Amino acid sequence: MKRIVVFLVSLFLFVPFVNAEDKYINVYLFHSNTCPHCKQELAWFDEYLENHSNVRLYDYEISDSENRTRYYEVQNILNYDSNGVPFLVVGNDVVIGFSDSLSSRIETLINYYLANDYEDEIGKYLGVSIHESNLETVPDKNTATDDGVLDDVEQDVHEDTDLDNYEVPILGEINAKSVSLPLLAVVMGFVDGFNPCALWILIFLISMLFGMNDRKKMWILGLTFLITSGLVYLLFMVSWLNLAVFVSSVNAIRIMIAAFATIFGVYNIYNFFKNKNSDVGCTVTNDKSRKKIMEKIKVILAQKYFVFSLIGIILLAVSVNVLELLCSLGLPVIFTQVLALNNLSVLEYSIYILIYILFFMLDDIVIFFVAMKTLQIKGISNKYTKYSHLIGGVIMIIIGLLMLFKPEWLMFNF
C-alpha cells in the first residue's frame, strides 16, 4: 500500500515537470494600443519569454479590423462574451486583464497546459497550431484531446495598486481609481442637469399642477414625470454605452468622439464668453412646439379620470425627453465613452450611470420638492446655466484631449 502511495505521489509530482520540459505551447494575446494593462502584459511577456523558449506568444492588436474579427471569433469558439482587453488565451482558458496576481495565474495555466494534452482550437482557427515535437506551425495537426479543467479565470482588469492611493487631508488615504469615476459621474451629471431645455417643461407643469388643488395628485403626477424622465435618460445612456462598448476598440470612433468633445467644449466656452456680459434671462425660441407641449399639459391635467392624466404624463415625459435629448447630447455621450474605456462590469456601469442621472436630476428634484412643500416655485437662476456651459466646456475639452492623447488616464491609470 505504502509503495502504491509513493508511486502515485511520484507520478503526480514527476509527470508534469517532465512534460513541461519537452512540450511547446502557443498563447494568444488580444490587446489594444490604448490599454495600459495590455502594455504591462506585453512587457511582462517580453521578460517571461526570454526564460521560456517553449512558449510562443501570438499577439493581435484589435484596432486592426482583421484582428478584431479574430478576437470576436476566438470568443465564439471559447464561448466567451467580453469586450475586455488584454484577452489572453492559454490552452482552453482565458485570462482577461493583467495584474501581478494574474501573471502568476498565467504561469500556472501555461505550466498546466504544457503538462497536459489539449486541443489547440484557437491555434487551428488562427492557423498557427503547433506541432507537439517542434516549433514549426502545422495547421490542423494538433491531436491532443483533453479539455482544460482549471477553474474559471479571474477577471481582474482593474486591480488596485499602491500607486493609486493618495493621502488626502481629513479624508485620509483615498484610492484614485475608486474615487475618480464616481466623482466624474457626480460633476458631469450635475453640470448636465442645468440644461434648460427640459427644465422649462417641469416649471410649466408645476405651475399647472398648482391649479389642481389636490396635493396627493400633484405629488403623484409630478413624481411620475420626474421618474419617467429619469428612465428615458437611463435608457438613452445605456443604449449609448452599449454602442460605446461595442465600438470602444475602434480607434477611428474613439478619435471621432474625442474630436467631437473637444470641438463642442470649445463651442461651449466660446458661447460663454460671447454672452458673458449680456443679460441673464430667457430667449423665446421654438414658439410653436412649446405652445403645443403647453397645450398637451393642460389637456392631460384636465382629464376627468386620474388614470388618464397619469398615462398622459408618462407619454409626455417620454416624448419631451426624447426630443430634448439633443439639447444635452454632449456630456452623457462623453461620459458613457469614458465608462466604455474602463471595461467595467455591468453592475459598475449601472452604478455610475445611476449616479450621473441622480445628479443630472438633482435640480429638478429640488425645484419640485420645494414647490410641492411651499406651493411656490423657487427659480434657479439662469446664471448657473451660463456657468454650467463654461464648466461643461472645460470638462469636454479635457476629456476630448485625454481621449486623443492619453486614453489610459481616462482609465484612471495615472
Partner 1 sequence: MKKFVYLIIVNEVIIIKVIKYSAAWCMSCIVMDNVLNKLQDLYNFNYVSYDYDNDRDKFIGFDENEKLPIIEFVDDNNRVLVKINGEHSTKEIEGILVDLGVELK
State in angstroms the smallest separation of the CB of 204 from partner 1: 5
State in angstroms the smallest separation of the CB of 279 from partner 1: 3
| Contact partners, residue 83, CB within 8 Å, separation at least 6 | 245, 246, 248, 249, 343
State in angstroms the smallest separation of the CB of 380 from partner 1: 6
* Nearer Cβ to partner 1 (178/385): 385
Do residues 54 and 23 lie in contact, with contact meaning Cβ atoms separated by under 8 Å? yes
Instruction: Give the whole-angstrom CA distance, residue 165 versus residue 175.
Output: 4
State in angstroms the smallest separation of the CB of 383 from partner 1: 7
Query: 211, 382, 233: which is closest to 297 by C-alpha?
Result: 211
Query: 15, 17, 89: which is closest to 58 by C-alpha?
Result: 89
φ/ψ (deg, to 5) at 254: -60, -45
Do residues 142 and 124 lie in contact, with contact meaning Cβ atoms separated by under 8 Å? yes
Cell of 222: 409630478
State in angstroms the smallest separation of the CB of 163 from partner 1: 45
State in angstroms the smallest separation of the CB of 365 from partner 1: 15
* Nearer Cβ to partner 1 (55/201): 201
Instruction: Give the whole-angstrom CA distance, residue 269 versus residue 357.
Output: 24
Local structure of residue 130 (DSSP, 8 states): B
Local structure of residue 85 (DSSP, 8 states): S
* Nearer Cβ to partner 1 (176/197): 197
* Nearer Cβ to partner 1 (215/383): 383
CA distances from 263 to 206, 230, 400 (A): 36, 28, 8
* Nearer Cβ to partner 1 (74/205): 205
* Nearer Cβ to partner 1 (215/291): 291
State in angstroms the smallest separation of the CB of 332 from partner 1: 22
Give bridge partners of residue 94 from the DSSP assignment.
Answer: 89
Instruction: Give the whole-angstrom CA distance, residue 71 versus residue 38.
Output: 14
Query: 204, 184, 91, 109: which is closest to 154 by C-alpha?
Result: 109
* Nearer Cβ to partner 1 (53/283): 283
Q: Is 90 helix (H, G, I), strand (E, B) or coil?
A: strand
Helices (H), 147-214: 176-192, 196-209
State in angstroms the smallest separation of the CB of 285 from partner 1: 10
* Nearer Cβ to partner 1 (135/280): 280
* Nearer Cβ to partner 1 (48/384): 384
Q: Can you give the binding site for partner 1, defined by CB under 8 A?
A: 196, 199-201, 203-204, 207, 278-284, 290-291, 294, 377-383, 385
φ/ψ (deg, to 5) at 21: -70, -35
Cell of 112: 498546466
φ/ψ (deg, to 5) at 168: -110, 130
State in angstroms the smallest separation of the CB of 317 from partner 1: 16
